Amino acid sequence: AQTVTQSQPEMSVQEAETVTLSCTYDTSENNYYLFWYKQPPSRQMILVIRQEAYKQQNATENRFSVNFQKAAKSFSLKISDSQLGDTAMYFCAFMKHGGGGSNYKLTFGKGTLLTVNP
Amino acid sequence: EAGVTQFPSHSVIEKGQTVTLRCDPISGHDNLYWYRRVMGKEIKFLLHFVKESKQDESGMPNNRFLAERTGGTYSTLKVQPAELEDSGVYFCASSHTGPGSYEQYFGPGTRLTVT
């Protein structure tokens, strides 16, 4: 079974600064996906960024980037130039790669509540 | 394109009562998932439908929970009888099959409070 750990229940950052959210995971799988999801207050959870485990290059989506360390089983999210709209709960999640059916279920961490202050 | 919708957004019921949650996935998405987040804990997988078939229901807590997806469109999750520990936010997600099917689109959730 997989586990995902987010050790920071809450974080805050000043607008325009950079913040890094931590995530570690445990798995015996070799092929898998890692995700960061964002849930703004009273809104739906949306996918922020995805990383395939077989890819060495860290994923980047505009101001969001990850630091994926496969050997260390670490998957942190860096948000650059933080904006007020980045205030949200951020969830790190794991999914086994390939196959069908149950391989697509997500295993989540407890989440990190990020507040961006003006 | 309409997103995943869930109804109701919030439900407050007494212990022992029955509640039915509904999820309408994105049109054309064969995969439908139910998850639950209990206060302060992780979001946990409950079950997965492919069309109308239950592909994986390993996360269902007990037989008080019944999920259906008749016709392979919307899904319902019934809790009968509800217990205090069933309180939490129930999320539904859907995805298509084939390339890119790793991406699940989530609904806003139903907050269930059992008193």
Tokens 């997806």 found at: B69
Among A63-67, B19-23, B100-104, which stretch is predicted with the lowest mean pLDDT? B100-104
* Average pLDDT over every residue of B31-40: 93
pLDDT at B10 over 50: yes
CB of B106 less than 8 A from some CB of A? yes
Tell me if A17 sits within 8 A of A112, measured CB to CB: no
The type of residue at B62 is N
Query: How many C-alpha atoms does B19 have within 13 Å on its Cβ side?
Result: 24
Nearest Cβ partner for B102 among A33, A107, A111: A33
pLDDT band at residue B17 under the 50/70/90 scheme: very high
pLDDT band at residue B69 under the 50/70/90 scheme: very high
Tell me if B90 sits within 8 A of B21, measured CB to CB: yes
Instruction: Give dist(CA B16, CA B24) in Å, integer.
Output: 26
Nearest Cβ partner for A104 among B31, B35, B41: B31
Instruction: Give dist(CA B79, CA B63) in Å, integer.
Output: 9
pLDDT of residue A104: 82
CB of A37 less than 8 A from some CB of B? yes
The type of residue at A43 is R
**How much helix, strand and coil, in percent to the nearest 5, is found in chain A?**
5, 50, 45
* Average pLDDT over every residue of B40-62: 93
pLDDT at A101 over 60: no
* Residue scoring higher pLDDT (A1 or B110): B110
Mean pLDDT of chain A: 93
